[in-house]
A and B are shown apart, each in its own frame.
Chain A
Amino acid sequence: MDRAHSAVSRRSFLTGVAVTATAATVWPRPGAAQPKATITYWNGLTGADGKVMDELIDRFTKETGIRIEQQRLPWAELYAKLQVSVPAGEGPDLALIHTVEVPHFAHDGVLETIDDATAGGKGFRGEDYLPATWQGGVYQGKRYSLPLDVPQHVLYLNVKVMKDAGLVGADGKPKVPASRDELVTMAKAMTKGEAFGFAIGTMNPGRYTWGFHNLLWQNGANIYTPDLKRAAVAEPAALEVAEFFAALPHQHKVVPPANANCRDAFIAGRLGMWIAGSWNFTGLRDAKVDFVAAPVPRLFKQPVVWSMPHQYSFPKVKTADRARRDAAWAHVRWMTDHVAEWTLKAGQVSASRKAHGDPRITGDPVLKTLLAQAPNWQVGQATPKWVAAENVTRPIVESVYTGQKPAKAAMEELAKQINALPD
């Protein structure tokens, strides 16, 4: 073809292509997918539950196009980092925290408030949750977080150890202690040499605090008085619990020495009954231990169960970004809608009641037991000092357990230390 006869020159052809391509790129098209936000999400799910969270987040990203950059570190480090990063404007869009952390983060202005209209507009309503979990997100009348799930205590019964001690019923199921005396009698029957009948607490070293809290609450006692103004740990009800704690290793001699890894002891068949966190049960299943989960027995006045729900919170940001905040909300909504899968795979019972009737959950004996405890769930008191009080409680309760201090002197010392915590 003669170039002179060409209707379109190369230059004008290329110009046309460029203009068309540019127009195609920038021209809004109805229904076309808009670029989705990428949000940052910090959590402390460093165990097996972290892998489950990864899987669910992958699915969320595939379904919504919203990308999530997770940062996962041990809880204590996560909280220190939040406290430092948020005032510097370097916080995440979303953070998973424990209920007891809400008051001090709220008090220090680290978290955004969530008004009822916004939460309601996203489909979050109090009636969908059990009161202990829903109220855990509130500090001084304002909401700062929304509950995801409920890590809690449960009683693990080692079937082999209990069978060997003749502590099974006619149906072959382990007996469940119904009182303090019964628990001690059964524990004595299982304690021989290096095998122990009972333990309360999570992992070494010396993490007896939550078990101690559980028993305090069962006896109607608490760390602070109801007005949250002073320590209540030297009051008679708390002292009774401390004396029971001291009696377990020294008078009854039915518990492992301090610093023993109760989980390993349970797996090795050296521990018969163990009150510990629900997060242990998937690991016990993986270790192929023959065990049964039972509700935490009523050892004092009321059958209270220690719990510490995980809560979704929105740390404050320097400059508001609507798209990112909406994306964070979208993830919280999606997780709440898919919480049954989280429960089944991670072993954490959902805070939302909607998943409680799921037949896959009610069909699992451990999850069923955890759900049955729901009316008895209790959480730490809503004071910014709670976590600091927990930190000073640990060594003192441990000193009672190891016999370093008599229960009364220890509780008086604890009250003194709690009252001396700075404002």
Chain B
Amino acid sequence: MSPGRRRRRQAGTAYLFLAPGLLLFAVFRVYPLLEGLQLSFTNARLGRATAQFVGLANYTRLAEDDRFHVSLVNTAFYTLASTLPILAVPLALALALNRGRLRNLLRSVFFFPFTLSVVTVGLAWLWLLDPVVGPFNYYLRALGVPTRSWLADPATAMWAIILTTVWWVTGYYLVIYLAGLQDIPRDLYEAAALDGAGGWRAFWSITLPLLRPVLLFVVVTHVIGSFQLFGQVFVLTGGGPGDATRTVVQHLFEAAFQNFFQFGAASAMAWVLFAVILVFSIAQFRLLRGHTEY
């Protein structure tokens, strides 16, 4: 058998093995995506017998929808403001828990919140931050610190959601960072120590550069997740006070499932969101890409 023919045969076998996965991906991911794109050019609504083609009307209406703009700004603010804590807090914990006697126990402790559902987390923090009967304000008052209604104050509501999210997902990113730290060869640190490098120097010159693929993964997945923020907001503030924490997905959800089941308009929102996420993801890959060599 010629090498070319063998290669083609191997590729054919590989595609055969990939086929079930690709089929599922096409049916449950690609098809709904394209169906959504088609819907976004119609006035489709559940309860309406037929949907008419409306061209770009759903998209132009979004350009005039003040609440959609507010939700885009809020979502972008959340994404930007939460990225640094999401990068830094789990990394600091991972460095602290990379070795030590209690590391396995502490890793489990920090991972525990991530095993909870978003509703459980939301309800727990709703109680913790309750302005009248919540423990958070109770202890602040005991310390003589001024209190406020954290989730009902436009100045603090989004920060409270960020705090809740960091608490919830830190354990997940901690595990990712720990895996990345384990992959860094120990002899690099030994060589650096022999050359007189201290802890900070080793961190800046070895740990951080070699964690670049992990950092890229964390940033990209976090940014994509942030643009899709919904659960925490839905439970904690309902998008309030007013529209201070309203996000794009909440706006989309309400259009699709609460206000007249406007699937056409909601699909247009979903595609705008998709485009935004795509642009951010490409930008991040370009910024953080680089060859890592051990």
Contact = CB atoms under 8 A, between A and B. Distances in A.
Interface of A: 76, 80, 83-84, 87, 104, 107-110, 194, 196, 204-206, 256-261, 264-265, 268, 270-271, 385, 387-388, 391-392, 394-396, 398-399, 401-402, 404-405, 417, 421-422
Contacts, number: 124
A61 to B, nearest CB: 32
B154 interface: yes
Interface of B: 45-48, 67, 126-127, 130-133, 141, 148-149, 151-154, 236-244, 246, 254, 257-262, 265
B260 A422 contact: yes
B47 A402 contact: no
A84, A205, A264, A421: residue with the most chain B Cβ atoms closer than 10 Å = A205
A274 B78 CA distance: 35
Nearest to A399: B242
Given A76-B258, A395-B243, A268 B132 contact: yes
A258, A268, A387: residue with the most chain B Cβ atoms closer than 10 Å = A258
Contacts of A385: 260
Contact of A261 (B47, B132, B237, B242): B132
Contact of A84 (B46, B238, B246): B46
A331 to B, nearest CB: 27
Which 7 A-B pairs rank lowest in CB-CB distance, beginning with the nearest? Answer: A108-B47, A399-B242, A257-B149, A258-B152, A259-B152, A388-B259, A402-B241
Contacts of B127: 261, 264
7 contacts: A110-B47, A205-B238, A396-B242, A404-B154, A404-B241, A405-B242, A417-B67
B237 A205 contact: yes
Nearest to A206: B240
Contacts of A402: 152-154, 240-242
B275 to A, nearest CB: 24
A83, A268, A270: residue with the most chain B Cβ atoms closer than 10 Å = A83
A395 B259 contact: no
Contacts of A417: 67
B236 A404 contact: no
A110, A256, A259: residue with the most chain B Cβ atoms closer than 10 Å = A259
B43 to A, nearest CB: 8
Given A264-B132, A268-B132, A259 B259 contact: no
B133 A391 contact: no
A421 B47 CA distance: 16
A128 B286 CA distance: 72
Contacts of A264: 127, 130, 132-133
Contacts of A399: 240-243
B130 A261 contact: yes
Contacts of A110: 47
Nearest to B130: A261
Given A264-B132, A270-B132, A387 B240 contact: no
Contacts of B67: 417
Contact of A259 (B241, B258, B261): B241
A83 B47 contact: yes
B269 to A, nearest CB: 14
Contacts of A394: 238, 240
B242 A83 contact: no
A196 B130 CA distance: 14
A104 B47 CA distance: 9
Nearest to B129: A259
A388 B259 CA distance: 5
Contact of B258 (A108, A109, A270, A388): A388
Nearest to B64: A420
B290 to A, nearest CB: 44
Contact of B240 (A80, A388, A398): A398
Given A80-B258, A196-B132, A257-B132, 15 more contacts: A83-B46, A109-B47, A205-B152, A206-B238, A257-B131, A258-B241, A391-B258, A395-B242, A395-B246, A398-B242, A399-B240, A399-B241, A404-B242, A404-B244, A417-B67
Contacts of A398: 240-242
A287 B153 CA distance: 30
Contacts of B126: 204-205, 261
Contacts of B237: 205-206, 259
Contact of A257 (B48, B152, B261): B152
A205 B246 contact: no
A124 B93 CA distance: 66
B238 A261 contact: no
A91 B36 CA distance: 24
Contacts of B48: 108
A264 B133 CA distance: 7
A311 B81 CA distance: 46
A256 B254 CA distance: 28
B258 A387 contact: yes
A421 B242 contact: no
A76 B153 CA distance: 26
A194 B135 CA distance: 13
B289 to A, nearest CB: 41
A417 to B, nearest CB: 8
Contacts of A194: 132, 141
A83 B241 contact: no
A259 B131 contact: yes
Contact of B46 (A108, A259, A270, A388): A108
A47 to B, nearest CB: 15
Contact of B152 (A196, A206, A396): A206
Contacts of A205: 126, 151-152, 236-238, 240
B136 to A, nearest CB: 13
A422 B262 contact: yes
A204 B141 CA distance: 22
Contacts of B240: 205-206, 258-259, 394-395, 398-399, 402
